[in-house]
Structure 1
Amino acid sequence: MNNMKKIIIIALTALIFTACTNSDKEYDASGTFETTEVMISAEATGEIKQFDIKEGDVLKAGQYLGYIDTIQLKLKKEQLQSQINSVQSRTQDITAQTNPYNKQLALTQTTLNTQLHEKKRIENLLKADAATPKQLDDINAEVDATQKRLELIKSQREAQLSALNIQNDGLVKDVAPLQAQIDQINDRLAKSRIVNEVSGTVLTKYAEVNELMTEGKPLYKIADLSTLILRAYLSGNQLSAIKIGQSVKVMINDVNGKYKNYSGKIEWISNSAEFTPKTIQTKDERANLVYAVKIRVPNDGYLKIGMYADVKL
């Protein structure tokens, strides 16, 4: 009888052990949270005069943060603008310079019109024997002289116009490189303004006011923490149970030792296997090769970069 009891106890113990061994874990994979961090660097060289941020600030895209000293740039721009003004002051006013010729042309044309009218009158008188051929010869000579004078004035005006255009074109060419330098300075002035281009939270601040900056030196690091990416690893036999766009349960430990649950969505699944990271556990811990997945999780403020989390498929 005692032997029978021992057998029953052993059988029950084995059954309980087997049940416990085969019971599912509370999670299928583990991972850590990450996000895309953007390093913002200075685009100009000089002393920082204003830099209004601190770590933890939430910034908007296009938000003005401060500026790097621009005094030397402004002085150089004023010098170049003065040179441009000096060159442009030598530009000739074509209308004013050619106006005397235009007046001479108008006056000569009026004289010619009068002479032509007189010529026609004399021709009519000659037909009626009221004028002499000499009178017609005289008026023809006057018309011919006036026409030659008109052509000469036109030629002089064209020569003057050509000379003025050549001179002004040369001055314009002198202005072009100066204007190009001003455009470059304007670009550098714009880059001296520290303007945030990425919406997110300031993770690290690397520079302070009155510090000398050089182009390319980091100012701060920023990341969008409104959602985080949980990088987890699954064994090969779990891949058939997931797909991109699928919702999964993400769990983190709270202060009471219990799970705090989030809803995440799979947005990427690796196409190739890799060796299991030492700090990561999968459901089948014996698996040597695993596949990385990225799960996007909305952040309510409690999730932090580097925090561990479990995944339930």
Structure 2
Amino acid sequence: MKNKLKNMKPVIIFTVILIGLSIFFVIKNTMDKSSNEFQFSGTVEADELNASSELSGKIKDIKVEEGTKVKSGDIIAVLDSDENTINVNQANISLQNAENELGKINDGTRIEEINAQKELVKQSESLVTQGEAALETSQNNLNSAQTNYDYKKKIYDDHLTLNEKGYESNENLDKYKNDLDNAQTALNNTKSALSSANAQLESYKAQLAAATDKLDLLVNSATARDEATAKYGIDQAQQNIALSKIALEKSNIKASSDGIVETVNFKKGEYVSLGSPIITLLDSNNMYIKIYVPEKILPYVKLNKEVTMKSDFIKDKVIKGKVCYISKEAEFTPMNIVTKEDRMKLVYEVKIKISDNLETVKSGMLLDVTLK
């Protein structure tokens, strides 16, 4: 038995040594791991984005609350848009009216008016023709009356000579004088008729000129002017619709970027003026924390290195992040100490981008950062 124990003694000693070495390396590894874990504190920073009103008006609805995650383009608040809706409807009515007016012109309403005016021109031309014929007749009547008067005057003059010589009675002379007076009256009447016919012809010509001018106006300018006016009305209505729709769209306050609602600055029913920051967002694509790492620890810090963070306010959650920036220039701590003995107190700014639990993080919050 003693010999057996004596033979096992080297094995026992070796086993004890092996166990001791294992414990040593485990403790050493644990100590190494512990010694490579560093704690820092920093304050959360983020770019603030204000969702501001581009119109003045009363807030109709707030669609988010503090901590709400939003995507770029999400509607987060709505202004009262009744007036803008009315403006859009009125602009649509104006557009319809202008299009109807242009349609009437293109469908021939103006052509019918032109054809009616052409008929008036034809009637005026016919009147001028009639007037010219009447003037010619009056001129012929005047010529005949003048010939008759000249003939009657010659007869009267001949009988007057005979009367003066005693060969013609006064009674017969009076008869020829009466014929001459009648011829004179007829001549005067034909002259008056000629003057009236000439005046009537000039009136007909004036009517024809006016009708022709109006026809030219309709054909050459009025149609083009009316069409241009209708098209201008369409353009104006379309512009008014576009502007009204822009104003209507601006009544929807949208997030300009992905983010988290930090503060809601107004309540439903409150009046806001142009440019009022209704809601403040934190840019979730760029929330970060700054820490300052001593020079001797800097070798443990690498870009894209994952780190963990905690807060006294959210103890049940671990916040993850990645190193996104390491300053190339050191800062002294404090800044006025530059002695050789204090070189080890040089620190480097390190920025860590927060990658999760963004809804629980607020700008200005103090976080404890663990670097391993």
The TM-score range, normalised by the shorter chain, is 0.5 to 0.7
Using the alignment, how far apart are the partners of 1:302 and 1:71 within structure 2? 35
1:111-168 CA distance string (max 9 Å, x none): xxxxxxxxxxxxxxxxxxxxxxxxxxxxxxxxxxxxxxxxxxxxx99x9387534431
Partner of 1:264: 321
Partner of 2:307: 249
Cα 1:208/1:261, change in 2 over 3 Å: closer
Cα 1:244/1:187, change in 2 over 3 Å: same
| Identity percentage of aligned residues | 24
2:236 to 174, 177, 180: 177
2:60 to 49, 71, 81: 49
Alpha-carbon deviation of 1:53?
2.5
Matched, 1:299 2:356: yes
Cα 1:100/1:189, change in 2 over 3 Å: closer
Matched, 1:74 2:80: no
- The amino acid that maps onto 1:41 is S
1:235-276 CA distance string (max 9 Å, x none): 45555554422x143343669x9x986653211223444565
Using the alignment, how far apart are the partners of 1:177 and 1:71 within structure 2? 22
Matched, 1:310 2:369: yes
Alpha-carbon deviation of 1:24?
5.2
Cα 1:303/1:289, change in 2 over 3 Å: farther
Q: After superposition, where does 1:1-313 map in structure 2 within 5 Å?
A: 26-27=37-38, 29-91=40-102, 92-96=104-108, 97-98=110-111, 160=219, 164-223=223-282, 228-236=287-295, 238-239=297-298, 241-245=300-304, 247-252=305-310, 264-274=321-331, 290-300=347-357, 304-305=361-362, 306-313=365-372
Alpha-carbon deviation of 1:67?
1.9
Cα 1:226/1:171, change in 2 over 3 Å: closer
- The amino acid that maps onto 2:105 is D
Alpha-carbon deviation of 1:72?
2.4
Q: Look up the SS of the partner of 2:278 in the other structure.
A: strand
Q: What TM-score do you get using the length of structure 1 for normalisation? A: 0.56
Using the alignment, how far apart are the partners of 1:61 and 1:304 within structure 2? 19
Q: Look up the SS of the partner of 1:43 in the other structure.
A: coil
Alpha-carbon deviation of 1:39?
1.9
Q: Look up the SS of the partner of 2:253 in the other structure.
A: strand
- Please, which runs of 5 or more residues in structure 2 have no aligned partner? 1-33, 116-214, 336-340
- The amino acid that maps onto 2:275 is G
- The amino acid that maps onto 1:250 is T
Aligned residues between the structures = 229
Partner of 2:193: none
Structure with more of its chain in helix, by fraction: 2
Using the alignment, how far apart are the partners of 1:33 and 1:66 within structure 2? 27
Q: What TM-score do you get using the length of structure 2 for normalisation? A: 0.49
- Please, which runs of 5 or more residues in structure 1 have no aligned partner? 1-22, 103-155, 279-283
Alpha-carbon deviation of 1:190?
0.4
- Any conservation in 1 of the 2:79–2:252 contact (CA below 8 Å)? yes
CA root-mean-square deviation: 4.2
Alpha-carbon deviation of 1:176?
2.3
- The amino acid that maps onto 1:49 is K
- Any conservation in 2 of the 1:228–1:299 contact (CA below 8 Å)? no
